[in-house]
Amino acid sequence: MDENERKAEYQYLDEIRTLLKNRIAELERKVSGHESDIEESGYKMWDELTHVIRDFDDVASLTLYDADIARQDDDYRSTLLELRNMLSLYRIPYFGRLDFVSDRDGYRERVYVGAHSFFDRKTFEPYIYDWRTPIASMFYDCNVGPAQFQSPDGIERGKVVLKRRFKIRDGQMQLMYDADSSLHDDMLGEALSENTQARLKVIIESIQQEQNRAIRDEAAGDFVIFGAAGSGKTSVGLHRFAYLLYRNRERLSSKNFEIVSRNGVFASYIADILPELGEEDARCTLFDDIINRILPQEYRFEEYYPQTEYILSAPDGDLRRQAIALKGSSAFLQFIRSYFENFTFHMPDIAFGDAVLCSAQDFDRRCADMKRERPFDVVLAHARDYARTLLEDYCDLHKKEILNQIWHSDGEFFEDEYEEEFIRRRRDSVQNTLAEIDARNGLSIVPLYKTILARYCENLPNGPEILAQTAAALESKNLPYEDAVCLSYLAVLLGQFEPNLMVRQLLIDEAQDYNAFQHAILKKVYPHAAFTILADPRQSVFPGLGLKTEEELLALYPGCHSTSLERSYRSTGPICALASALIGGSLIDYFDREGALPQVLTASPAAEALRALLAGGELSGCQTIGVICSTAARARALYEAADVSGTLLTIPDQELKPGLVFLPAALSKGLEFDAVLADCSDIHDPNMLYLLCTRALHKLYLFCENGVPEALESAQGLWKKREI
């Protein structure tokens, strides 16, 4: 790049900043005007409400005012969104440029790529292309040479003749270089070396080719993204949401997108991503809240994290541990599905008084005919709708006759109560028939669950003990988590929960931690949604919980397509090398960023070693430090013993904050810290050690006060011993 090119780039940046400044001023004036218009319309509507509403015309007039306020509110929100995007561009207008020469007409198009689009309002000439536009995809996928992209008119072929990267901060050009320069890896390494905040970061400046393919995947159906820790799965999933919102703007909004999470810690960690990418935030739903809405109100249940604590502290032969593994297994799920595949319906007459609208035999035959081609829950829903429709139509058709019966009945009704009594009888006839359908077919979830579990446990060694333990829990109505999940699955299968029909795209992070039943529940609760599923089975660390292999997960989503992100970008080379060795050596590719060897501290109790590290000052440059233990109980004990300034994070609804944080392994899933201090004194599982190691970006310390675990011993040379 010669000096003239450099000057031209600086000049273009100055021009863009001036144009952005002018647009921001226009939007600020527009926002102020919108506020005044909405306020004025509100006053007019309020003034109208102070008068008596006399007729339909008055109601229509107020409806127009309401529609006008809603339209102005939409305009106001749209203006605010653009203003936020322009302010973002004013700080970092763009981060890349590519020059593309089309084979079709030989025209050389100069494409500056940024977080949002910016164009001339009169000529629509683009100054900056949104990173999600089709032409911008070449910035991530192509080097200088032959290239193509999917334009609205089809595939556009040509060649990239220039690809340039920029580092612009607060409107100031800090660095520019051509992408074929040796600076590229250095700049990626520098970006990865930055300290993290207590929030996930936007990665549009450093999206890698394999990540870009996953983000822009628009194939129909469910999409499973496997990836090593630090490969950017969560970032890819959220950036994919932003991409799909951009591509489907006319028919989808953020209300059609939802994220399912295990805890509020993760929800707070990802909260800023979609807004920073110029989109309204998608709703983040906790899985346990879904269970809470499904189960009958009289039941309380233990939540997920207490279950993980139990699993990690219970001995290997513990009866409940065996029950947890059984009740969450794909085999038990398939047994239940087979039970309903072979289910024979026994239906009552559909009758109102003495009038039989459909005999039990005809109703049975109707359901049996449907059952040959449709699943149980569809047939059951149809049967209920059929009974309801027959009864309601009959009542409406014979309303005069029924009212006459009420008139001549022994009941004493005032004249204005006859209509109410008709409605009650109509409603009761439907409810009584639906209740009889459930009673004849044994469709009460608790007895049904007992029946199915008893059949499944018939030939199991500890079957009777598991059944007795389950019966006692069901009787107390204070359910273990595993039973709450199974009952919830039966409830949605029996149509006892209203599905969410609005959500069209659902994101599940850490999907390996959801068992077969939980995945099945989500498919029932969100029947119209395409799922984006993020998983790393190597991080399935709780015995008997979740899914251990890629094959198990894929089997739950027949017809899905999948990809793998096997390169890790989070941790330094030495940390990645140790993590890889813990789970088999050559399984993980990683960006080899410089860093210190992980340190294993064995001579002192963990609390003393922690205090010494903090006092020594070697962690002073870290903005986030995670002190991770196997369980919440151990995290609390270490926090109290260390007696240092920090935050104890053991409740799933807490928000992750900067600084020193004590937390259990279960809550560390998906998070990253500048430094990790892991208490490995009671940890021997290589996968758990892998999980803890891969939370660290730059520095890793492993406290092993009871001796070095065997998995770490076998990785000697990839860590150094230290005594404090």
What DSSP letter does each residue of 150-214 carry, written as one string? EETTEEEEEEEEEEEEEEEETTEEEEEEETTSTHHHHHHHHHHHSPP-SSPPP-TTT--HHHHHH
pLDDT of residue 660 exceeding 80: yes
CB within 8 A of 423, min separation 6: which ones? none
What's the token pair of residue 405?
A: 């019966």
CA distances (Å), origin 542, targets 280, 305, 314, 334, 509: 35, 11, 11, 22, 16
| Separation CA 684–CA 687 (nearest Å) | 9
pLDDT of residue 63 exceeding 70: no
Number of domains in the chain: 3
**What is the per-residue pLDDT across 122-164, written as a single tens digit (0 to 9) for each?**
999 999 999 999 999 999 999 999 999 988 889 999 999 999 9
Least reliable range by pLDDT among 21-35, 509-523, 652-666: 21-35
| Separation CA 427–CA 421 (nearest Å) | 10
**What is the per-residue pLDDT across 366-415, written as a single tens digit (0 to 9) for each?**
999 999 889 999 999 999 999 999 999 999 999 999 888 877 776 666 76
What's the token pair of residue 616?
A: 């020594």
Question: Which SS3 state, helix, strand or coil, does residue 53 take?
Answer: coil
Helices vs. strands in the chain: H and E counts, helices first: 27, 26
Residue 276 covered by a domain: no
pLDDT of residue 58 exceeding 60: no
**pLDDT bracket for residue 631 (50, 70, 90):** very high
CB 677 within 8 A of CB 659: no
**pLDDT bracket for residue 64 (50, 70, 90):** low
* Residue 186, pLDDT score: 58
CB 282 within 8 A of CB 252: no
- Side chain identity at 344, as an amino acid letter? T
CA distances (Å), origin 223, targets 246, 252, 262, 553, 567: 18, 18, 20, 11, 19
Residue 295 covered by a domain: no
* Residue 251, pLDDT score: 92
* Residue 267, pLDDT score: 84
Query: Mean of the pLDDT values across residues 443-470?
Result: 94
pLDDT of residue 45 exceeding 50: no
What residues make up the domain containing 65? 3-91
Query: Mean of the pLDDT values across residues 95-110?
Result: 94
Bigger pLDDT: 636 or 50? 636
Give me the CATH number covering residue 674.
3.40.50.300
| Separation CA 486–CA 509 (nearest Å) | 21
pLDDT of residue 265 exceeding 90: no
CB 358 within 8 A of CB 511: no
* Residue 190, pLDDT score: 62
pLDDT of residue 588 exceeding 80: no
- Side chain identity at 247, as an amino acid letter? R
Q: What whole-number percentage of the chain has pLDDT above 70?
A: 91
Bigger pLDDT: 55 or 79? 79
Residue 597 covered by a domain: yes
| Separation CA 691–CA 525 (nearest Å) | 30
| Domain stop point among 409, 440, 471 | 440
Residue 246 covered by a domain: no
| Separation CA 635–CA 677 (nearest Å) | 11
- Side chain identity at 384, as an amino acid letter? R
Query: Mean of the pLDDT values across residues 633-644?
Result: 95
Question: Which SS3 state, helix, strand or coil, does residue 532 take?
Answer: strand
**Cα distance from N-terminal residue to C-terminal residue, the chain:** 52
| Separation CA 395–CA 434 (nearest Å) | 16
- Side chain identity at 103, as an amino acid letter? D
pLDDT of residue 496 exceeding 50: yes
| Domain stop point among 75, 91, 107 | 91
What's the token pair of residue 149?
A: 């992209």
* Residue 264, pLDDT score: 86
Residue 506 covered by a domain: no
Task: Please tell me the pTM assigned to this model.
Answer: 0.89
CB 209 within 8 A of CB 238: no
Residue 262 covered by a domain: no
Q: What angle do CA 458, 462, 466 make, to 5 degrees?
A: 85
**Which of the 8 DSSP states describes residue 623?**
S
Average pLDDT of the chain? 89
| Separation CA 437–CA 387 (nearest Å) | 10
| Separation CA 507–CA 513 (nearest Å) | 14
| Domain stop point among 440, 456, 486 | 440
Burial of 147 (0-12, 13-18, 19+ CB in 10 A): buried
| Separation CA 325–CA 661 (nearest Å) | 31
Which of 243, 214, 218, 240 lies closest to 227 in space, CA to CA? 214
pLDDT of residue 82 exceeding 60: yes
Which of 71, 75, 87, 65 lies closest to 31 in space, CA to CA? 75
Tell me how crowded residue 721 is: count the other CB atoms within 10 A of its CB: 12
Residue 629 covered by a domain: yes
Residue 145 covered by a domain: no
| Separation CA 303–CA 22 (nearest Å) | 53
CB within 8 A of 512, min separation 6: which ones? 535, 536, 537, 539, 540, 546, 547, 548, 553
pLDDT of residue 61 exceeding 70: no
